[in-house]
Amino acid sequence: MANIQSNFLGIKSPNPFWLASAPPTDKKINVMRAFEAGWGGVVWKTLGSQVKNVSSRYSAMDIGGQKIVGLNNIELISDRPLELNLREIREVLKEFPDRAMIVSLMADNDRKSWHEMVKKVEDTGAHGIELNFGCPHGMTERGMGAAVGQDPEIARMVVEWVMEVATIPVITKLTPNVHSVVPAGRAVVEAGTNALSLINTIQSVTGVDLDTLVPNPNVGGQSVFGGYCGPAVKPIALKMLTTIAQDPLTAKVPVSGIGGVSTWKDAAEFLLLGASNVQVCTAVMKYGFRIIDDLTSGLSNWMDEKGFEKLEDFIGKSVPKMTHWEDLDLNFHVTAKINPDACIHCGLCYIACEDASHQAIAKKDGFPYNDYTVKEEECVGCNLCKLVCPVADCITMEEHRVAPEYLNWPEFQKRGLPLNDH
């Protein structure tokens, strides 16, 4: 059996699955139930100055009958008394000393407040601190959250304050509400942060109620921009994670990957692109704590199939495969092939290719259904037909090469080769 035990900054946990700082980690009863279910660690919901939350707080994107493809929230940090949170953290640590206990912090924007908060958290026995530089709503008006993470120099300053007193590992959580996460990542690494986590939620509006005309969520007839998370943000999270893994400076520290992790496959993708562990939130809010069984068994089974004995065997393994467009091989080509035995004759591939691609699928009218075949000489290998096909493996993309040698764009231009659609 593969060993999925995690060692993040010396913080050990039985698996790499942590609960992200969010409602599921807001109080002792939640965290105890999560640990009893088998979660490897938690990031306790952000502690800071006293706040008052509003009602309602959530809205969602539902697509094609699937609920909560993306979740929007306008909830702030923990609205429970600070001392109550600290006491409960101590109590959980006594019950589960083998699980990772990280505490998220968002202090007022001055050195003294950060020093005081760090010391109070360290007194609980917590294993690490996560600095919340990402909350995109509510806290920004107070000069906190994303207002810190969006300015690399402010982020640097706050991390320097924290590192003056911190004696346990410090993780800095980056906001995605920027052109690039690398400048802020570089700044906080230079300031001494021990690790990074990303992404926090993306500022969003999930929709407008067409009866009331009020954007969601509705708070007394008004709304605000919220933080977007869930499966819909995973591609953005993976891109930002990869840029951190590719940068020579930020790649020196471990990364906790966040953003749409719902299955073991998602987790494997994050780890392959440079994360050392993953944090989960929306999937638990939708399905509950017991999904940890599928996450751990699925990841372990996949590792067995691939021959990976431990997480470190494949963390970051896919990062070198991400390159620049101009370095891609222009002589590599694929062509679609339709398996007539698997085809259900729905015509979706034909419609997509005819209206939005290269008219590379031929339709033969018949009764009781039409038949579809690929015009290989017209196919550019774009994958669209395969993506719209509702039958797994009915359409495959078969490789063939225009020429045997590797040819990138700079070399193509250098040789003065003719342009064509293929």
Rg (CA), the chain: 24
Please give the Cα distance from 119 to 169 (Å, whole number): 13
The answer to whether the beta carbons of residues 166 and 138 sit under 8 Å apart is no
Contact partners, residue 299, CB within 8 Å, separation at least 6: 2, 4, 15, 16, 264, 267, 268
Please give the Cα distance from 126 to 120 (Å, whole number): 10
User: Active site includes 135?
Assistant: yes
Tokens of 121: 């958290």
CA 185, chain centre distance (Å):
16
Which residues make beta-bridge pairs with 43? 102
* Alpha helix stretches (DSSP H) within 38-181: 82-95, 111-122, 146-149, 152-165
56 CB neighbour count, 10 Å cutoff: 14
The answer to whether the beta carbons of residues 160 and 116 sit under 8 Å apart is no
Tokens of 398: 């078969």
The answer to whether the beta carbons of residues 217 and 228 sit under 8 Å apart is no
Cα–Cα distances in Å, from 250 out to 230, 243, 314, 348?
A: 25, 9, 19, 44
* Catalytic one of 135, 385, 389, 394: 135
Q: Starting at the edge strand that comes first in sequence, how are the strands of the sheet with 58-63 ordered?
A: 58-63, 66-73, 226-229, 202-204
Contact partners, residue 398, CB within 8 Å, separation at least 6: 334, 335, 336, 337
Which residue in this structure is represented by tokens 């991400």?
A: 322
* Alpha helix stretches (DSSP H) within 68-151: 82-95, 111-122, 146-149
Please give the Cα distance from 360 to 376 (Å, whole number): 7
Cα–Cα distances in Å, from 351 out to 22, 364, 366?
A: 43, 13, 17
Which residue in this structure is represented by tokens 């509400």?
A: 177
Residues labelled catalytic: 135
